[in-house]
Structure 1
Amino acid sequence: MIVVLRMLLGRILALVPLLLGVALFVFIVMRFSPVDPALAAFDGANATAAQLEQFRRENGLLDPWPLQYLYFVGNLLRGDFGVSVITRQPVLDTVATALPLTVQLTAMGLVIALVVGLALGVTSALFRDGWPDQLIRIVSLTGVAAPAFWVALLLVQWLAVGEGLFPTSGYVSPNDSVAGWLNSMALPAVALSMPVAAVLTRIVRTSMVEELDKDYVRTARGGGLPPVVVVGRNVLRNALVNPLTVLGLRIGYLLGGAVVIETMFALPGMGQNLIRAVGDGDTAKVQGFVITIAVGFVLVNLVVDVLYLIANPRLRSHA
């Protein structure tokens, strides 16, 4: 318990410089962007030079860059992401509206990837060098090489346009219809999860094969324990340690892939709003979205680290 608390405290303290670095990076990138927030705010209207100057002064765009960054960090520490120069609405309100959908999509993709990766990885290891193993290897290699957007295009062409089983785009809230929500999220979640599922399949297979070759497995089998008990109680748990270490990074891939998938399927989540904010030159929104995604990535990896400690008692004893 003390080890877990120490690790949590260390991760929380590391979150502060990480967020400051992310904020600085996005701040610098947006300042070098050719899009002028003042011109974007007037949405193509014939604004006079005086109006543009007044807008820049009111929004602190004429202040030195270091001062602008300090103002932003100060607001961030108070939980204030600023105000959009386009909609004049607090960025935090937009994040609160878009974040649940991205969480739903990422969670569904993660569940699908875990189920598929574990099922195929374990099956491949148990039938090592047999035809199921060879077939799963081919499928997993194909999945690793196939980007999520390409899988999404194939699924839309086959299941949405060809068979008409799913919508090509759009989002239905679970508050309106659970069936409609599942129908609208199915293809995006599957497309997002397939590359991750392929990676997990290969890692689970490798870990399972290593565990199955150890002496304790042969001893347990020689002692008459059923294979289901040996694999389920000992081998699988020990084999999950390595996949857990990779899972945190793969969740980051899911969060990043959600940006593209949400845009392709017209899902009003963090990804689609981020792309629109970049195009509009809405600095406050871009910074708010990117920092929110960074915080989510760190928190998810924190959970994965805790699970890693739970799955690996030796690490707890030596930490």
Structure 2
Amino acid sequence: MFGYIVQRILAAVPVMGFVALFVFLMLRLTPGDPAAIIAGDTATPEQLQRIREALGLNDPLHIQFITWIGNLFQGDFGTSVISGKPVIELIAARMEPTISLALTTIILSVLIAVPLGVIAAWKHGTLIDRFVMLISVLGFSVPVFVIGYLMISLFSMQLNWFPVQGFRPIGDGLGQFLHRIALPTFTLTLLYIALIARITRTSMLEILGDDYIRTARAKGLPERLVLMRHALRNCSVPIITVIGIGFALIISGVVVTESVFNLPGLGRLTVDAVLARDYPVIQAVILLASLIYVVINLLIDIAYVLLDPRIRYS
């Protein structure tokens, strides 16, 4: 296992290198001049030249890339060309809303979706099964921003139960935190409930017809133990995969949800940086998202062994 983990970490190095090169070239070769954006429309050619020299934009591309990579190895992600603040500080300030939204969404989705999927597979072909599939279809079909605006219209504007937008850190009190994060969490939860419940149902249906399930039932075990201890554990690999990927997707920045509910997360930071062509911020956020995917995939592979003893890595 340890050797496999080391191999996966080493394999991630060229992947991250390719991502870094791709992001660097993509941003540098697209039309637009960040110096002109910083200086404004009334800037003189001399002012633009000074800004380009300060940012290193006049250097050849390979020199810019080598300088940037060297700074990364020193823990320097650069300075925002718009705000003038270190990029690492901007990202750190935006992490809490995104992580909070990701954790609350995944926890609520798993607590609801996994039992729904198990029940749907157990009651296959019944009204309960059709109801769960209807929820899945609606969750996949309706865009997230539509669900978000419907939530705001019903629970904020008509019932006045929740605020329309904004975020409160958990340090301000658990009640205030949950009150602000509830609507965006419910909005994303509908999507992930649909995904996780559908995968759980499909995986359970493949398992419930196996011989060891019939043997467990023949022994007189309660149906709850048959479903949860024998069936669910043996079909947990695809379920944990979906949960892990879903968590990585959310924490990488759900732009639409953060925009609808005005959450100051990584998604909003990315949008603002793209519109302003803030190269250092865009590069750092994309690299962070890539690193999150690599780490999540590694944790998923490790979880396979813990959940299914039949899986072994050489």
2:207 is the alignment partner of 1:206: no
2:219 is the alignment partner of 1:223: yes
Could you tell me which residue of structure 1 aligns to residue 107 of structure 2? 111
State the 1:26 CA deviation.
1.9
TM, length-normalised to structure 2: 0.94
Report the Cα distance in structure 2 between the residues aligned to 1:133 and 1:238, rounded to whole angstroms: 21
Which one of 12, 16, 19 corresponds to residue 22 of structure 1?
19
- Residues 243-293 of structure 1: per-residue CA shift (max 9 Å, x gap): 123333333432456122112211111111111011111100111111112
Would you say the 8 A contact 1:84–1:90 is kept in 2?
yes
- Unaligned 5+ segments in structure 2 are none
2:235 is the alignment partner of 1:232: no
Report the Cα distance in structure 1 between the residues aligned to 2:50 and 2:69, rounded to whole angstroms: 23
Which one of 133, 139, 144 corresponds to residue 148 of structure 1?
144
Which one of 300, 305, 312 corresponds to residue 308 of structure 2?
312
State the 1:181 CA deviation.
1.0
Could you tell me which residue of structure 1 aligns to residue 37 of structure 2? 40
Report the Cα distance in structure 1 between the residues aligned to 2:3 and 2:153, rounded to whole angstroms: 50
Report the Cα distance in structure 1 between the residues aligned to 2:37 and 2:173, rounded to whole angstroms: 37
State the 1:14 CA deviation.
2.3
Larger mean CA deviation between 33-42 and 178-187 belongs to 33-42
Report the Cα distance in structure 1 between the residues aligned to 2:142 and 2:11, rounded to whole angstroms: 34
Coordinate RMSD, CA, aligned: 1.7
* One-letter code aligned to 1:112: L
Alignment of 1:226-305 (within 5 A): 226-255=222-251, 258-305=254-301
State the 1:169 CA deviation.
0.9
Report the Cα distance in structure 1 between the residues aligned to 2:242 and 2:3, rounded to whole angstroms: 22
- Residues 27-82 of structure 1: per-residue CA shift (max 9 Å, x gap): 2222233332112223x263221111011112110011121111111111222111
**Is the partner of 1:313 in helix, strand or coil?**
coil
Larger mean CA deviation between 243-252 and 204-213 belongs to 243-252
Could you tell me which residue of structure 2 aligns to residue 139 of structure 1? 135
Report the Cα distance in structure 2 between the residues aligned to 1:263 and 1:298, rounded to whole angstroms: 26
Which one of 75, 88, 93 corresponds to residue 97 of structure 1?
93
2:62 is the alignment partner of 1:66: yes
Would you say the 8 A contact 1:20–1:73 is kept in 2?
no
State the 1:16 CA deviation.
1.7
- Unaligned 5+ segments in structure 1 are none
Which one of 183, 186, 189 corresponds to residue 193 of structure 1?
189
Identity of aligned residues (%): 35
**Is the partner of 1:315 in helix, strand or coil?**
coil
**Is the partner of 2:172 in helix, strand or coil?**
coil
Would you say the 8 A contact 2:106–2:243 is kept in 1?
no
* One-letter code aligned to 1:62: N
* One-letter code aligned to 1:22: V
Would you say the 8 A contact 1:193–1:254 is kept in 2?
no
Could you tell me which residue of structure 2 aligns to residue 87 of structure 1? 83
**Is the partner of 2:77 in helix, strand or coil?**
coil
Aligned pairs, number: 314
**Is the partner of 2:133 in helix, strand or coil?**
helix
2:74 is the alignment partner of 1:78: yes
State the 1:118 CA deviation.
0.3
Could you tell me which residue of structure 2 aligns to residue 183 of structure 1? 179
**Is the partner of 1:85 in helix, strand or coil?**
coil
Report the Cα distance in structure 2 between the residues aligned to 1:70 and 1:95, rounded to whole angstroms: 23
2:10 is the alignment partner of 1:31: no
